[in-house]
Structure 1
Amino acid sequence: MSENSIIPEKIKLFQIDVVNTYINDDTINENLNLGFSVAHNTKHNLKDERVKIELFVNLISNEDIGVKFHIDFHYAVEDLKEQYNLNENNTPMFSGQFIATLLGISFSTARGLIFQQLQETKFKGMILPIVSPMKMLASRND
């Protein structure tokens, strides 16, 4: 595995599932002050060279959840074996750069999906902030 061996053409986003959506725009008032959180889970199928990124995005207003999304991103990765090493327990350990790349693609796509979903609500026009994929590595949803 090499940290610099990510070839974008070998990564195919082939399915997006919006698993759960919750929008409560009654939490909005004129002093809108939203908190934002994003977390993720990563799952894999080494044999089929598949990786799934589960993203969990929350907007919190007045200590109540105003927006909550769970979106799954399914990737087929050609030569997936180049992106991990096996540890002493024979468990694959993916490179941080590889997972950060998938998180970046997933979150950027989620921002657009969520923006579109919010257009018929009081959250209309809200654009989620840009988040460093490397910082998202630390935000697992175990």
Structure 2
Amino acid sequence: MSEQSKINPEKIRLFHINVVESAIKDLAQKTESQFKINIAQTTMHNLKEERFKIGLFIDLTPDVISTDAKANFVFDFHYKIEELDKYYTLKNNNTPVFQGLLIATLLSISFSTARGIIFERLSNTNMKGMILPVVAPQKLLSLQRN
């Protein structure tokens, strides 16, 4: 892996999206409430098959304490990445260390896609029209779930 391997988007294929969990406890009525958004992520890989999985955990809770409304989502995004070996080095114990740019790119694609899915899932609720904010890829990198 070179220090600055460029990402070639044509070699990244998102081939499966699994909505592992989608739980919505709706607001009693439509309000102008703001929502807190908690995000966490996990990564998994298969070097031999050049596959990568991003897990996203997204929880939405209203700022209003008087309601127990919430929405929880868990997604798995499965990628096939041609020439994956360009984006990591192996440590002494054969553990790969992936280039931050690759992980940030996959997280950005995944979160952007999740935003659209969540928007659609909330369209028939009193949370209709809620659009999750754009989140910097660097921030998503720091939200790793163990």
Question: Which TM class, normalised by the smaller chain length?
Answer: over 0.9
8 A Cα contact 2:26 2:69, kept in partner: no
- Compute the RMSD of aligned alpha carbons: 1.6
The alpha carbon displacement at 1:29 in A equals: 6.8
Q: 25-34 vs 111-120, which deviates more?
A: 25-34
The alpha carbon displacement at 1:60 in A equals: 1.3
Mapped partners of 2:143, 2:115: distance in 1 = 17
Gaps of 5+ in 2: none
8 A Cα contact 2:7 2:102, kept in partner: yes
- Deviant stretches of 4+, over 3 Å: 26-31, 62-65
The alpha carbon displacement at 1:30 in A equals: 3.7
User: 1:29/1:119 Cα in 2 relative to 1: closer, same or farther (>3 Å)?
Assistant: closer
State how many pairs are aligned.
142
Which residue in the other structure is 2:134 paired with? 130
Which residue in the other structure is 2:84 paired with? 80
TM-score by length of 2: 0.91
Q: Deviations over 1:58-115 (max 9, x none)?
A: 1112465611100110000000011100012210000111000000000011100110
Q: How does 1:58-137 map to 2 (within 5 A)?
A: 58-61=59-62, 62=64, 64=68, 66-137=70-141
TM-score by length of 1: 0.93
Gaps of 5+ in 1: none
